[in-house]
Structure 1
Amino acid sequence: MNRLLRWLPAIVWMAVIFYLSHQTAGDLGTLLPFFQKWFPWMTSFDWGHFFVYFVLAIAFYWALLPKSRTWAGKSLVVLLCVLYGVTDEYHQSFVPGRAPDILDLRNDAIGAALAMIALSIPALDRLLQRTVPPSKKY
């Protein structure tokens, strides 16, 4: 049961990504100022792709613990993010004013890869380990 619950953040975050991808170009234009308030350097949603897939990678990493602690596990996390990014871009082809973009997929992959590099820092990995119940620690 614990293992299933650890997948919940990833599933919820994928739903958030799906919701954002389903917004028309006009709707997204109204969301950008909101995000710029919190992230002033954000001038387009290219940063949004980076950010949401950075978070998705962390959620996948947590769900796949302890396997995700290896480089093979981290590579699997990045692959899962890229595959979800492909489905996300395909989904956008059906949304008015949106179109698939290979640069968005690149930003998804960069966000996921940088999340895995960040979690290779022992202090950050230990911080995430604290969230795993004591009987399930590795």
Structure 2
Amino acid sequence: MKNNNKLKAFAASKVFSYGLVLCWMTLIFFMSHQEGETSSNLSSGITLTLARAWTYFTGVENVDLSLISFLTRKSAHFVSYLILSLLIYRTAATPSIKYGLLSLGLSIIYAGSDEFHQTFISGRSGELRDVMIDSLGA
């Protein structure tokens, strides 16, 4: 009976882990599916919030918004694929270098497909540079 409960718990854990991967991939997809103007407005709001925080904490008022915007957007790529890779790795029954490489590869493939997807969205473009940043995060 104890082994049966352990097996059920393990199966539930796997379903949950794969569910998290699927949810995260879906979030990435929907963020990429936003039209260019919508994506830009979201980024601008985050950029202004970060600029205000920077000014508040440092007292420096002359902030380069284009630099903050660039860093914010590229950091989002890096972190999104770092999380995706970790979630994929978490699905492993026994963590290993082999499974780490698999999670890296799957994340890079998804990054490439995501950038390709953006080429079909109004106001967006697929960028090899973004795939490389995503890959560094993975």
TM exceeding 0.5 = yes
Q: 1:8 aligns with which of 5, 12, 19?
A: 19
Q: Look up the match of 1:57.
A: 85
Over residues 105-131 of structure 1, what are the superposed CA-to-partner deviations in whole Å (9 max), with x where a residue is unaligned? 00110001xxxxxxxxxxxxxxxxxxx
- Tell me if the contact between 2:118 and 2:124 (Cα under 8 Å) persists in the aligned partners: yes
Moved over 2 A (4+): 33-44
- The change in CA–CA distance for 1:90 and 1:64 in structure 2 (over 3 A counts) is same
The percent of aligned pairs where both chains have the same amino acid is 25
- The change in CA–CA distance for 1:57 and 1:33 in structure 2 (over 3 A counts) is same
> Where do 5+ consecutive residues of structure 2 fail to align?
1-10, 55-66
Once the 2 structures are TM-superposed, how far is the Cα of residue 4 of structure 1 from its aligned partner?
2.1
Q: How many residues align?
A: 110
- Tell me if the contact between 1:7 and 1:60 (Cα under 8 Å) persists in the aligned partners: yes
Q: Are 1:102 and 2:113 matched, yes or no?
A: no
CA distance in 2 between counterparts of 1:34 and 1:8 reads 30
For 2:77, the aligned partner's letter is H
Greater helix share, structure number: 2
Q: Look up the match of 2:28.
A: 17
Q: Which has the larger radius of gyration?
A: 2
1:1-138 matches, within 5 Å, as 1-2=11-12, 3-36=14-47, 37=49, 42-44=68-70, 45-66=73-94, 69-112=95-138
For 1:75, the aligned partner's letter is L
Once the 2 structures are TM-superposed, how far is the Cα of residue 50 of structure 1 from its aligned partner?
0.4
Q: TM-score, normalised by structure 1?
A: 0.71
